Structure 1
Amino acid sequence: MPPAFEYIDPNLPAPLRAALAQALSAPPQRVQRVEGGGEALWLKQKEDSLSLWWRLLKGNSRRAFEADRLALKDLAKQDLPVPAIRAEGRDFFATTEIGTPVAHFLRGSQSAAELAPALEAAGRALGAFHSAGVVHGRPKLRDICWDGHQARLIDFERYRRGESSRKLMAQDMLVLLHSLFSLRPDGAEEAGIVLKAWLATAPEGLSGALVQRAKALAWLRPASRLALKRRAGSSEMIAMPITLDWILETLR
């Protein structure tokens, strides 16, 4: 049965349109890359076959899927840096490929100076969202893509229209910095580049909100420090005290 498109970009090349239709005819995957005609899309489909355990762990998958779709439409109208929806149907949407996740670059051997353009772009992009009064909810560096010129954000499954505050904006930046230190524990210079770009773009006063948020999470330090001392636990746990200490030291 052919897929039911509710919208498809008339400028989509015929080979890419055919590749998309073929992908939609196969068993659904949550996210997959579709290529054809020299272009590529990222196809996202609703998850219906989750086990009870995964439904409990991940929450309402339909709500998350629709939140992501709603965000992309809302934010595009505000000219914020998000990928364009090129095709959609009831249980899927496909977006323009917008580059490489910034996290990918931090896993390599590039220096902070070499990474600076991507890191600055990531900080500015998040700052643009906050200047518009929009909170991402979980802007890890894997959720910020850079094409060599511009950084754009993806994965808005926690998006809630109109839900914004300085506390939530500070939480966004804390999540971003934590994801950076999870990938590069000695990345103080890299973190400084992101923070400077964010502060230059975001509303005034967010540096104080970020300090307050870091202080509020001080209760996480003991377990995290133990993991850091023993080199045990996940990279995310090990990165937590590094992130909190860096914020408080940098913005004191």
Structure 2
Amino acid sequence: MVNDDFQEYVKQLVTKHRDERIYPFQYKGKKYWLKQPEKLKGIWLLLKPHPKKSFKNELYTLLKLAEQNAPVPKVSYYSDHFFVLENVGLTVSQWLCNKNIDEQQKFLIIYDACLALIDLHAKNLVHGRPAIRDITWDKGKVTFLDFESRSNSQNQNWVVIRDMLFFFDSLCREEDISDHFYSKSSVVLSNTL
């Protein structure tokens, strides 16, 4: 349970940053993320016609997955109009763009993310769109973010395959990774799958 000071601080942030979908902040030395429904304009109103519904679905999904001990960020505080997540580290995409870490470390991060996705599927859970920008890694701990995309398919095998395709597609789009690294990774990861 969060204390009254934290709740009041968050309410002030919601008011001050009401037009920002995602806002990072610090509270007593700890990093958090304030997330609010998207405020769409123009063509986006046609492409994403129900941002509040999507927002509520994402919150519900995070809370349900947390109950099932899935690797998701802790929802520290929420209402109908916002929720606050504890920070869970850099995304896999951010790690892969980091010029200060070697290919071995990058491979370990991808490997950990792949194993975490496999473990998620072993629990009969799916992400929906596990792009590497929606997966974090912190000292070996993998956490999944952004559960807004869902498949209507009831076929569990299909949604698992869809998850893996999204994961590898997002990985292959990463410009900071060499072809040699992809080749090496694909051999090892194919033996894991």
Q: Is the 8 A contact 2:7 2:77 kept in 1?
A: no
Matched with 1:137 is 128
Max Rg structure: 1
Q: Give 1:154-233 correspondences, 5 Å limit.
A: 154-159=145-150, 163=154, 165-183=156-174, 184=177, 186=179, 187-197=182-192, 199=193
Mapped partners of 1:189, 1:59: distance in 2: 42
Matched with 1:244 is none
Matched with 1:114 is 105
Partner residue of 2:35 out of 44, 67, 75:
44
| 3-state SS, counterpart of residue 151 of structure 1 | strand
| 3-state SS, counterpart of residue 173 of structure 2 | helix
Q: Deviations over 1:118-174 (max 9, x none)?
A: 212211211121111112111000100011130010000024799551111111111
Q: Deviations over 1:81-111 (max 9, x none)?
A: 0011100011111111011100011123344
Partner residue of 1:56 out of 46, 49, 59:
46
Mapped partners of 1:82, 1:121: distance in 2: 15
Measured at CA, do residues 179 and 25 of structure 1 come closer, stay the same or move farther in structure 2, by a change above 3 Å?
A: same
User: Are residue 65 (structure 1) and residue 41 (structure 2) matched?
Assistant: no
User: Are residue 21 (structure 1) and residue 11 (structure 2) matched?
Assistant: yes
Measured at CA, do residues 106 and 119 of structure 1 come closer, stay the same or move farther in structure 2, by a change above 3 Å?
A: same
Identity between Structure 1 and Structure 2 (%): 27
Report how far residue 193 of structure 1 moved.
4.8
Question: Which is richer in helix?
Answer: 1
Mapped partners of 1:155, 1:92: distance in 2: 14
Q: Which amino acid in 1 is paired with 2:44?
A: W
Matched with 1:95 is 85
Mapped partners of 1:43, 1:191: distance in 2: 36
| Superposed CA RMSD | 2.4
Gapped regions of structure 1 (runs ≥ 5)? 1-8, 200-252
Partner residue of 1:124 out of 115, 128, 135:
115
Q: Is the 8 A contact 1:112 1:190 kept in 2?
A: no
Mapped partners of 2:57, 2:151: distance in 1: 7
Measured at CA, do residues 188 and 62 of structure 1 come closer, stay the same or move farther in structure 2, by a change above 3 Å?
A: farther
Q: Is the 8 A contact 1:122 1:194 kept in 2?
A: no
Using the size of structure 2 for normalisation, the TM-score is 0.85
Mapped partners of 2:59, 2:152: distance in 1: 12
Gapped regions of structure 2 (runs ≥ 5)? none
Q: Is the 8 A contact 1:83 1:154 kept in 2?
A: yes
Using the size of structure 1 for normalisation, the TM-score is 0.67
